[in-house]
Structure 1
Amino acid sequence: MQLAVLCAVCLLPGSLALPLPPEAGGMSEPQWEQVQSYLKIFYPYDSKTRDANSLRAKLKEMQKFFHLPITGILNSDIIKIIQKPRCGVPDVAEYSLFPNRPKWTSKVVTYRIITYTRDLPRFKVNQLVEKAFAMWSKEIPLQFKKIKTGIADIMIGFARGAHGDGSPFDGPGNILAHAFSPAPRLGGDAHFDEDERWTDGTSIGINFLFAVTHELGHSLGLGHSPDPKAVMYPTYEDRDAKDFKLSQDDIEGIQDLYGKRRD
């Protein structure tokens, strides 16, 4: 009889669920699981750090990056941030794709658009990519040359789900795009999630110019900026397209890598 009662209790849903840790801040279990996944992707553990496996330490790191009160405890401000669409590149400076300040050594960097989105005409995608490159080249002594065939330094394309680089897209929302720092093969390449609705700013959707300018910053060697006004800020913000330009933080970052343009 006692064994039967015990078995019945064990089968009750949630009866043996472990309480959430203090770092959860009283949030729900789905929210806590969501933030753990977010931290794993965008604030990966550094084995050299003493408390590398501490979620509290990772929460503090995220709070510091986004200029939030550093408590190490989950709150509604963090929930709002993780629910925003964003770039798929991690925020931490120790990210493995950006060791030793990689940059292009050639003064002429080639690029090629290998796949297009169905949301925009090809000529419009070409125009916006060219405009994004022009924003960066205005500040540094690099020239960008488009090629139509062969392997370019920076390969640009749209894809869905798994697309051969080990970083699959996740469907509409959340991760919009990602890019790799200067290097052979995948290095410099920029990929955009075709499951998003892409726009040139004349309709509802993700403004492709904003996204491609950001990703090309990664393609040139920049990491994420904690400055909300910067193009290299990790989350997507819908801005006024007429006023869209590199911030002083973006300019100082890219010139720190390549120097100033001298016409």
Structure 2
Amino acid sequence: MIEIRSLTKKHGPRAVVDDVSFEAAPGRVTGFLGPNGAGKSSTLRILLGLDRATSGTALIDGRAYHDIDRPLWTVGSMLDGPGAAPGRTARAHLTWVAQSNGIPARRIEEVLAMTGLGDAARSRIRGFSLGMGQRLGIAAALLGDPRVLVLDEPTNGLDPDGIRWTRRFLRSLAEDGRTVLVSSHLMTEMEGIADDIVVIARGQILASGTAAEVRGEHPSLEDAFFALTEGRGQYSSGPAEQGGAR
């Protein structure tokens, strides 16, 4: 279980995360949706102990990340892609991550097979396609066989085959009873995969509930998203429509 309660993060007088509260439950994919700059990554960074909140709490199974011993056994994450040195092989990268948390070496081969990277284990990461890099990031997140997964934009930039694979894989993780929290700014990627939806814009939660509840009377999740976030994006299109961006 992921529990975010009254989470606020300020940079000076500006709140990039403003009194945010929501949950992500086991056995479900929770889509954390919002425009670029909405506060998604800031929220996830606080959840994963990479930043500090001004106030509020972000808990994983009732504990803050920094209070979890060998955290990769409890929560796996991917922020900003695989985070791997390009000169390393896929196996070397996963070996380093596994050793940092006392994860047995046999698990490396298991996650390589799970993510379809078995044949690329000895390949240098600099030669990986974007899709292979995303798979490597997911493989690293799975090393500790965690019950909680936190993935930031896992389908960003992928081709249709990569998106399809990621959707199916995330659903299989949830069906295995794991808590899966996925952030995205692309509504079409979440349609059909997310059980629950949390919509954020300008640091504030605009809607949360099951996908059907958030969609409401709108014909699609994308339509509901634009209705909810109208005028709340990071950028305004007004000047461009009146003769060019400034």
TM-score range, shorter chain: under 0.3
- Whose radius of gyration is greater, 1 or 2? 1
TM-score (norm 1): 0.26
> Larger strand proportion, structure 1 or 2?
2
Relative contact order: is structure 1 or structure 2 higher (C-alpha 8 Å, sep ≥ 6)? 2
